[in-house]
Amino acid sequence: MKRLKTRRTDTQFAYLLLAPSLILLLVLIGYPMIYNIIISFQKVPLNPKMESTFIGLDNYISVLKDPTFYHSIFITLVFTAIVTTVSTLLGLVIALILKRDFVGKKLVNAIVILSYVVPAICLIFAWKYIFNNIYGIINYFLIDVLKVVKDVPLWFDNPSSAFALAAIFAIWKFFPYAYISFNAILQSVDKNLYEAAEIDGANSWKKFTAVTYPAIKPTLVTVVSLRIIWVFYIYAEVYLLTTQVDVIGVYLYEMAFATHDFGKAASISILLFFLIFACIMFIRKKVFKSEED
Amino acid sequence: MKKIKRKSVKNFLFYLFVIILMLLLLFPFIIMLSVAVKVTKEAISFPPTIIPKTFSLKHFSDIFNPRIFPFLSYFNNSLYIALITSVVVVFLGILGGYALSKLEFKGKGVVGELFYLVYMFSGILLIVPLFRLLSSIGLKNSKEAVVICMIIQTLPTAIYMTRSYFSTIPKELEEAGRVDGLNRFGIIFRIVVPLSLAGLISVFVYGFMIAWNDVLFASIFIDSPSKLTIPIGLNSLFNTPDYVWGRMMSASLVTSLPVVIMYAISQRLIKSGSTDGGVKG
């Protein structure tokens, strides 16, 4: 009887504590989500005092007919696949190598994490300076010191080199997140398991697949799914770096705040939401589950 | 004998790897520092120099002079946004995290899932409705609009973090507080909060970092030069023809400093682990 009573007051107290957060998220995420759906069926005039008009599926149709949309989706998918895979693997490999004890471990750890902590805009200035076409140190190394190439592209001004730079930049910025996550989980792996595997005559690869991989798998799934979401919606890092990489975030932003077509922008974001939702479900169900069977 | 040799070769390769990795990762920062302390003429000369031939701290004093460089105004605006965001998020995180870690209640699972879902519908997907909504209530061209957006961006993770820190605190301590006559809020703020101070500081740092770095919402909601934050302010200067590399780099270094220091402190505190002290004492 007493137990039941504490249960009920627990529930009341829990919702009292959660109320501010839930109300905030409801008003500022839940409501905008629904509002977004409504806007996506409307033609929104530039003048905020004029009424929006309902135009049915017109926004969706015009987005789905726009070749730029497909181009952006394609670029974004390739970008997301490369950045997610490489940054996760890099973080994992570095975490595995640096797992042992050595002199200066703390300092090394801090330096590995640096690019993740420092604001993107600061890294972008460094990047732009290093790859400057006239006095950039990369060009100097490639052309004048190593003499491997005679000519280099205008790094930020053509789609392919800009894509490569943006991808490397994103990997550099994001791999520490994977590193931090794996670093934490690797410390919790039971050392006895490695010793047992060693007695059984397992080599390094065998030890990884038999002991390490099962232990880090939940972390891996989380890191990969979160990274996919973040990179898929990437906007600032790419946009500040170059105007030549048309990821979908940039397309959406420009549709809203350069073209000022809010209706179309809203319909793009609805389409993207379903796309990313499907992507995550696919990865969780197929890529990671299938290995267990 | 052979085994020892193999081990030392392995050791050598390991340290070689570490040194190369460090050089590679530090290279952009070395360049930043180098450009920040050399005179402008050297910064744009060819061939480029890594170790500066000239040395001057003029760029650093320049960026703190409001008459020639608006960095201080950007800095204050960013600080305002980041501080309010992180204080609010820590406070809401304490409340929400406590409910989700310590209380059994109906709908707990659903609430937990809800916070996860918010993750998928965040950032750029909400710019259109959030812009319309917040402009319609008069928050156009305002720092407060950015604060609101940053709070909802960071809240789900903040609650997730506090929940996991709080769940390490043993129930006995709360019981002891109850026996001492503390009410439920007293238990939260006088027992749970002090015991997870290190964790809460890292929540603060998380909120601060995200708000300090934000470009997206600041660029949507802020128009007037006096309200620009560091990232969009510096970027707007970058696009003018008369930017000075040394100032940009020194401003970047000064911008990085607070978050790097805060992050380092929070990591150190987390490692020293303040929660397990409570059971013994």
Where do the domains of chain A lie, and which CATH numbers do they carry? 57-292 (1.10.3720.10)
- Mean local confidence (pLDDT), B247-275: 84
- The per-residue pLDDT for B115 is 81
pLDDT in tens, B192-219: 999 899 999 999 999 999 999 999 999 9
- The per-residue pLDDT for A283 is 76
pLDDT at B41 over 90: no
* CA distance to partner chain A, nearest, from residue B112 (Å): 11
Q: Which residue from B minimizes the CA distance to A46?
A: B132
pLDDT at B272 over 80: no
Closest residue to B128, CB basis, from A36, A118, A229: A36
- The per-residue pLDDT for B87 is 97
Q: Which residue from B minimizes the CA distance to A262?
A: B128
Amino acid code (one letter) for B216: L
Distance in angstroms (rounded) separating the CA atoms of residues A92 and A216: 10
Partner B contacted by A101 (CB < 8 A)? no
User: What fold does the segment set B65-280 form as a domain?
Assistant: MetI-like fold (1.10.3720)
Closest residue to A273, CB basis, from B18, B125, B256: B125
CA A239 to each of CA A10, A131, A243, A262, B68: distance values in angstroms, whole numbers, following the listed order? 48, 16, 6, 20, 27
For each successive 10 residues of chain A (293 residues), what is the average pLDDT?
57 91 90 91 79 86 92 94 96 92 88 92 92 84 77 82 93 94 86 82 83 87 86 90 90 91 93 85 70 43
Closest residue to B213, CB basis, from A10, A31, A120: A120
- pTM, two decimal places: 0.89
Q: Are A269 and B238 an interchain contact pair (Cβ–Cβ within 8 Å)?
A: no
Distance in angstroms (rounded) separating the CA atoms of residues B93 and B76: 25
Map out the domains of chain B as residue ranges.
2-56, 65-280
Cβ neighbours of B24 in A, within 8 Å: none
* CA distance to partner chain A, nearest, from residue B280 (Å): 23
Distance in angstroms (rounded) separating the CA atoms of residues B225 and B228: 5
* CA distance to partner chain A, nearest, from residue B278 (Å): 22
In SS3 terms, chain B reads as CHHHHHHHHHHHHHHHHHHHHHHHHHHHHHHHHHHHHCCHHHHCCCCCCCCCCCCCCHHHHHHCCCCCCCHHHHHHHHHHHHHHHHHHHHHHHHHHHHHHHHCCCCCHHHHHHHHHHHHHCCHHHHHHHHHHHHHHCCCCCCHHHHHHHHHHHHHHHHHHHHHHHHCCCCHHHHHHHHHCCCCHHHHHHHHHHHHCHHHHHHHHHHHHHHHHHCCHHHHHHCCCHHHCCHHHHHHHHHCCCCCCHHHHHHHHHHHHHHHHHHHHHHHHHHHHCCCCHHHHC
Residues 138-177 of A with CB under 8 A from B: 140, 144
Number of inter-chain CB pairs under 8 A, A vs B: 221
Q: Tell me the average pLDDT of chain B.
A: 87
Residues 244-283 of A with CB under 8 A from B: 249, 252-253, 256-257, 262, 265-266, 269, 272-273, 276-277, 280
pLDDT in tens, B62-79: 889 888 888 999 999 999
Please, what's the b/e burial string for B115-126 (b: 16 or more CB within 10 A of its CB; e: otherwise)? bebbbbbbbbbb
- The per-residue pLDDT for A6 is 55
Contact (Cβ atoms closer than 8 angstroms) between residue A235 and residue B216: yes
Q: Within 10 A of A201 (CB to CB), how many other CB atoms are there? A: 7
- The per-residue pLDDT for A7 is 58
Cβ neighbours of B47 in A, within 8 Å: 140, 144
- The per-residue pLDDT for A123 is 94
Q: Are A36 and B18 an interchain contact pair (Cβ–Cβ within 8 Å)?
A: no
pLDDT at B275 over 90: no
Amino acid code (one letter) for A117: V
In a mutagenesis test of the A interface, which of B124, B206, B214, B235 is the best target, namely the one with the most A β-carbons within 10 Å?
B124
Using a pLDDT cut of 70, give the percent of chain B over it.
Answer: 93
Alpha helices in chain A (DSSP H): 2-25, 31-40, 58-65, 67-97, 105-117, 120-130, 137-139, 159-187, 191-199, 204-207, 213-232, 236-241, 248-257, 262-282
Using a pLDDT cut of 90, give the percent of chain B over it.
Answer: 46
Distance of CA A65 to the CA centre of its chain: 27
Confidence class for position B278, pLDDT limits 50, 70, 90: very low
- The per-residue pLDDT for B176 is 86
Q: Are A121 and B99 an interchain contact pair (Cβ–Cβ within 8 Å)?
A: no
pLDDT at B277 over 50: no
Partner B contacted by A136 (CB < 8 A)? yes
- Mean local confidence (pLDDT), B122-150: 90
Cβ neighbours of A125 in B, within 8 Å: 32, 234, 238, 248-249, 252
Q: Which residue from A minimizes the CA distance to B230?
A: A121
Partner B contacted by A126 (CB < 8 A)? yes
Q: Are B31 and A97 an interchain contact pair (Cβ–Cβ within 8 Å)?
A: no
Question: Which residues, at least 6 apart from A46, have a Cβ–Cβ distance to it below 8 Å?
Answer: A260
* Ramachandran sector of residue B214 (left: φ over 0; alpha: ψ -120 to 50; beta: rest): beta
Q: Within 10 A of A259 (CB to CB), how many other CB atoms are there? A: 10
Q: Are A121 and B252 an interchain contact pair (Cβ–Cβ within 8 Å)?
A: yes
Closest residue to B126, CB basis, from A10, A32, A98: A32
In SS3 terms, B4-21 reads as HHHHHHHHHHHHHHHHHH
- The per-residue pLDDT for A38 is 92
Q: Are A126 and B106 an interchain contact pair (Cβ–Cβ within 8 Å)?
A: no
Q: Which residue from A minimizes the CA distance to B152?
A: A25
Contact (Cβ atoms closer than 8 angstroms) between residue B236 and residue B157: no
Distance in angstroms (rounded) separating the CA atoms of residues A117 and B205: 10
- The per-residue pLDDT for B241 is 62
- The per-residue pLDDT for A3 is 47
pLDDT in tens, B90-135: 999 999 999 999 888 888 888 888 887 776 666 788 899 999 899 8
Going by C-alpha positions, the residue among B200, B209, B198 that lies closest to residue B150 is: B209
Query: Predicted ipTM?
Result: 0.87
Alpha helices in A27-118 (DSSP H): 31-40, 58-65, 67-97, 105-117
